[in-house]
């Protein structure tokens, strides 16, 4: 049987739902188009799982030397700020994962990148470890 994401979450009785949306969409549909997609998906999830806590994770940065015209650290940061505002408005919990993998200048830490000569945005094992550690340490104080 096939389920949509919201239907699947309802079927398993999810109580905490972690979502990271936007990286692929930003390059194709821009910041605002991606934000609308995120709002649509979270609304559908909220409708199917009204008692679940929804945690929305920020999109993580790219390597400094891999910036694209439509998808780059500036557009990612702009999207994340807008997502944070939507979370505050809708009562979702915002998880600033980007802060855990940022090199201090808005770029992905090089050692956290698993494809530094290709796309410059997918995580290495070290990057995944940092991401998971951030979630474990911040899930209870997400706002």
Instruction: Quick: pLDDT tens for 61-82.
Output: 999 999 888 889 999 999 999 9
Is 95 in contact with 82 (CB distance < 8 Å)? no
Q: Kindly state the average pLDDT of the residues 24-29.
A: 88
Q: Kindly state the average pLDDT of the residues 36-56.
A: 95
Number of domains in the chain: 1
Averaged confidence pLDDT in the chain: 92
Q: Has residue 143 got a pLDDT over 60? A: no
Q: Kindly state the average pLDDT of the residues 91-115.
A: 93
Q: What is the CATH number of the domain that holds 71?
A: 3.40.50.1110
Q: How far apart are CA 118 and CA 41, in angstroms?
A: 29
Q: Give me the domain span that covers residue 30.
A: 5-141
């Amino acid at each position: 049987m096939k389920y949509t994401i919201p239907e699947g979450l309802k079927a398993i009785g999810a109580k905490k739902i972690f979502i990271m949306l936007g990286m692929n969409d930003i390059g194709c549909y821009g910041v605002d188009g991606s934000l609308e997609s995120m709002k649509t998906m979270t609304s559908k999830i909220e409708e199917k799982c009204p008692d679940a806590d929804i945690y929305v994770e920020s999109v993580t940065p790219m390597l400094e030397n891999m910036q694209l015209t439509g998808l780059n650290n500036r557009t990612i940061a702009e999207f994340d700020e807008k997502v944070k505002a939507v979370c505050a408005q809708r009562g979702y919990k915002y998880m600033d994962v980007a802060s855990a993998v940022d090199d201090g200048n808005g770029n992905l830490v090089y050692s956290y990148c698993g494809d530094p000569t290709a796309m410059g945005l997918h995580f290495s094992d070290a990057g995944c470890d940092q991401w998971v550690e951030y979630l474990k340490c911040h899930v209870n104080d997400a706002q």
